[in-house]
Structure formats: C-alpha cells, structure tokens
Chain A
Amino acid sequence: MSDDGAAVVAAVEAVAERIEAERDHLTQLDSAIGDADHGGNMARGWAEAADAARDLDDPDPETVAKTVGKTLMSEVGGASGPLFGGSLVFAAGELDGGITPETAVAFAETYLEKVEDRGDARVGDQTMVDALTPAVHTFKKSIEVDNLPPIEALAKAVDAAERGVAFTVPIRARKGRASYLGWRSVGHQDPGATSTLFILEELLAVAAERLGVDVPETDAASPTIPDEDPDDAGGSEDD
C-alpha cells in the first residue's frame, strides 16, 4: 500500500519536473491561441503539488491523488485548475483499494468523465479531451480486452495521447479562450492536450522505472508533433 503511495509521489515529482522543463514550450503554445499562462500556471501548480505530496506521511495513493488535486485546484488558476485538479480530486476515490489494473482503469475513466462534464468539451473541440479520451479508451481496452500487462497498456495510452495531440493541430477550437479566434485557431496545437501528454509520459516513465523495465515500444508509428521553437516566444504569429 505505502509502496503504491510512494510510486504516486514519485510520479507527481516527475510530472512537476517535466512541466517545469516544458514551461516555455507550453506558454508559447498558449500564447498563440490563449492568454499565454498555461506554462507558468501548470509549472507553479505542479511544483506546489509535489511539495504537498512530499509532505505527506506514508500516504496511500488515494491520499496523494486527492492532495495533489486540491493543490492544483487552488494554485493553477484559470480553467486548468478545476479541469486538471478537480477531476483528480474526484477520481482519487477510485484508488482507495490501492493501484491495480482495475482501479487504474476506474480512475482513468472517472477522470475523463469529470473533465468532459466540467469543461463540456468533446473530442474535436481542440482541448485536452482530444488527448485524454483516446488515452483512456486505449488503456481500458488494452487491460480489459487485450489482457496486456498494465505497463504495456500505459505505453499504448501514451501513444494514443500523442496522436490526439497531433489531431488538435488541424481542427478548430470550440471551447475555451481559443474558440474566440474562430478559424484562426486552426493550425495550432492545444496546450492542455500537450500538457496532458507530458503527464502521461511521466506516469509511464516512472512506472517503467519502478518495475525495472524499459519503456515498452508500441508498434504504432508515432506522428511527428510540430515542435515550434520555444526561443521564438513572443515572436511573430504563424501564418
């Protein structure tokens, strides 16, 4: 039990580190279609969340998840607080029996449900839902139908999320601040979908590390995600 708790704390720390490393990248994505605060908000929120998780005394996974969710809710601000944090607070309850393939699927499904309900977004709206939905569906199918080991299921989920992020580029934003741009949102990669992918990638890396295995290769060819140069932040708009 406490070993699972320690794993979740390690995952939160890895996410905080990754989001901090990607801060400028996320800010730059958000400056193209939003208010340019996603990188800073998420980096601050996850740093606080990692501190709060570290301060817990021998916690179980549910307690870590709930603590992290509550911290994100109060620290991230904007819509990302209730979406990333609020969903985590409510999904945390699914982990009260520790982390098993079944509780992990239930957790992922509840998290997705809360994000969809709260943000009222569906696949194709150019939001984090575009990365999250295929990831959760793929994870569930890999566990329940294909009977894959959880680490392979998670690797497939990350792969699905990556394709979901690429999918946000050519579509038009229907939710959030980007939707005010109308057709001008086309051609931009969604920041929330991108940070969702980073979170999933870190969960996978930490899970593999704790199992002492390499990150599984998935057979799906990963798309190349346009990686705009962060050094360009504040520069000219893409045409």
Chain B
Amino acid sequence: MVGIVVVSHSERAAEGIAEIAAEMAGDTRIEPVGGDGKGGIGTVPDAIEAAIDAAAGGEEEESDADGGEEDEGDADGVVVLVDLGSAVMNADVAVELSDAEAVIADAPVLEGAVNAAVAATDPSATVESVREQAEAARDIEKL
C-alpha cells in the first residue's frame, strides 16, 4: 500500500488537509506534518522524514544520512504533497534522508492530497500512479 504525507507551513493546515483526504482514503496511511516545531509557521526536514517513515509503515526513528538500519516499512512507497517554497526544499531533504521510497508530487496540496488518497485505494497502486493522479489535480477547473 502506498502511503501519503501532507506537508504544510501550518501544522493545522496539514492536519485539516489530511482530514479531508482521509474521507476518500480507505485505510491508506496519511501523515500530516508542518510548522516549525516551535508552534510557528514553517517546515522542518526531520519532522517530514519522521512522517515519511510513519506513512511507509516503518518505525519513527531518528535515521541519519548514512543510513544505519535500513527500514523501508511495509508500504509500497510514499507520495509527499507540499504547499509552498521552503516546504518543497525541506521535503526534498527529508526524502533524501529517509530510507523509504518517497517521491514529491508537483501538485496543489489539498486537491493533490485528495486525488492521491483516491488513487492509493487502488490495490495495484504504485508511487508513480499515485503521484500521477496527484499531479492531475493541477488541471482541476473550479468554474
């Protein structure tokens, strides 16, 4: 099963988006993560890495850049949705640090998360198919 991580500068926004996406997600793991770790607006790579590991079904543990214990979890990888600017860079660092197979979707964070959640319920879903569906959200027209 493919896991999903929702990254926002606001922890509450990430939680809210994950809550909306979870409506469509069956038993897919959706991990919200955000905020600067001190109650403010921002993102932190370590926290995103922990969310990726959790969405991958692995243990949440401090991994370090040189690997150590490989723990890829039991998921078929993780798709990461991000909001703005430095969240993209911090998620990129986290993906590189994590042992799980994770990719960032170039998609609007809320619509992308909902699309990804739907795509992840397909028994044959892969990180690529889920990322593709998340990125299809760029073409959603609302009016």
Contacts and interface: CB of A to CB of B under 8 A. Distances in A.
Whether A and B are associated in the same complex: the answer reads yes
Interface of A: 66, 70, 73-74, 77-79, 81-83, 86, 89-90, 92-93, 118-119, 176-177
Given A81-B86, A82-B86, A73 B93 contact: yes
B139 interface: no
B86 A78 contact: yes
A229 to B, nearest CB: 30
7 contacts: A73-B93, A74-B46, A77-B86, A79-B89, A83-B89, A93-B65, A119-B89
A81 B45 contact: yes
Contact of A118 (B36, B37, B42, B93): B93
Contacts of A78: 42, 85-86
B69 interface: no
Contacts of B64: 66
> Which of A77, A79, A176 is most buried by chain B, counting CB atoms within 10 A of its CB?
A77
A74 B45 contact: yes
A76 B44 CA distance: 9
B51 to A, nearest CB: 14
Interface size class of B (residues with CB under 8 A): 10 to 19
Interface string B96-137: 110000000000000000000000000000000000000000
A118 to B, nearest CB: 5
> Which of B36, B37, B93, B96 is most buried by chain A, counting CB atoms within 10 A of its CB?
B93
Nearest to B91: A82
Contact of B46 (A70, A90, A119, A176): A70
Contact of B65 (A83, A90, A176, A177): A90
B65 A81 contact: no
A73 B45 contact: yes
Contacts of B36: 77
Contacts of B44: 73-74, 81
A77 B86 CA distance: 8
A92 B85 CA distance: 25
Contact of A86 (B66, B85, B89): B89
Contacts of B37: 74
A87 B85 CA distance: 17
A170 B96 CA distance: 35
Contacts of A119: 89
A209 to B, nearest CB: 30
Nearest to B42: A77
A93 B46 contact: no
B8 interface: no
A82 B82 CA distance: 15
A89 B89 CA distance: 14
A70 B37 CA distance: 14
A82 B65 contact: no
A89 B46 contact: no
B8 to A, nearest CB: 15
> Which of A79, A93, A177 is most buried by chain B, counting CB atoms within 10 A of its CB?
A79
